[in-house]
Chains A and B, each alone.
Chain A
Amino acid sequence: GDSVTQMEGPVTLSEEAFLTINCTYTATGYPSLFWYVQYPGEGLQLLLKATKADDKGSNKGFEATYRKETTSFHLEKGSVQVSDSAVYFCALIFGNEKLTFGTGTRLTIIP
C-alpha cells in the first residue's frame, strides 16, 4: 500500500540555521504531496503542496520539490526562526482517497 517515510526526530537547530526534513514515499502512481505543520497546542495547518513531478511548493520561506525519480518531497528552509518550532507531517493522497501521513518530525529552534 501507499506509505510515507519521514526523517525521525526530534530535530534541534539554532536560529538562522538551514533546515532539511526528509520525506520519501511509496505509491503505485503519482500522488499529490503535502507538508502539514502542527504548532504547539493547535491543529494541523496545510503548509505547502505539490501535485505533479517537478512542482515546487512554497510558503512562509519553506520549500519542497516533488521528485519523481527519487520519490521524495524533502522540506527545506534557508533560515529557521524560533517560531518555526512545531511538528511537521509529510502526507500524500490519490484523488479523493484517504490522506496518508508520515509519523511526524518534531522541530525545535533554539535562540
Chain B
Amino acid sequence: SAVISQKPSRDICQRGTSLTIQCQVDSQVTMMFWYRQQPGQSLTLIATANQGSEATYESGFVIDKFPISRPNLTFSTLTVSNMSPEDSSIYLCSVYGDNSYEQYFGPGTRLTVT
C-alpha cells in the first residue's frame, strides 16, 4: 500500500482567500485523485491529476476554482480559490496501490471557511 501525507491537516480560513493543500506519496504514481467530503456526506471526486498533463475535472468542478499542480510523480497540490463557507469540507488525495483497482487515501485536510 502507498503511504500518503497531506499538509495542512486542518485550517480555518476567511472568506475570499485561497488555500493550497499539498499531497506527498512515498512512491511514484501516475495518477493522483482529489476528493471532497462535505460534512456528513460521502466522497465526491474533484479531479484526476496526471503528471505532465492538465488535470481532468469532474462535472461541477472547474480549474479556476480548484487549480491543481502535478510537478512530479510523487507530489500534487490542490488550491481552493476565493473560498466561501460552502467550501468547508475535508479534502483528500488518493492514489492507486500496487493493484490498479485499489485506491489509498491520505489523512485529509479539514478546511473551515468563516
Contact = CB atoms under 8 A, between A and B. Distances in A.
Contacts of B64: none
A42 B108 contact: yes
A62 interface: no
Contacts of A17: none
A95 interface: yes
Interface string A24-49: 00000000101010000111111001
Q: Is the interface of B mostly helix, strand, loop or mixed?
A: strand
21 contacts: A32-B101, A42-B107, A43-B90, A43-B105, A43-B108, A44-B92, A46-B1, A46-B102, A46-B103, A46-B104, A89-B42, A93-B101, A93-B103, A95-B101, A96-B96, A96-B100, A96-B101, A99-B103, A101-B42, A103-B42, A104-B41
Interface of B: 1, 6, 31, 33, 41-43, 45, 48, 58, 90, 92, 94, 96-97, 100-108, 110
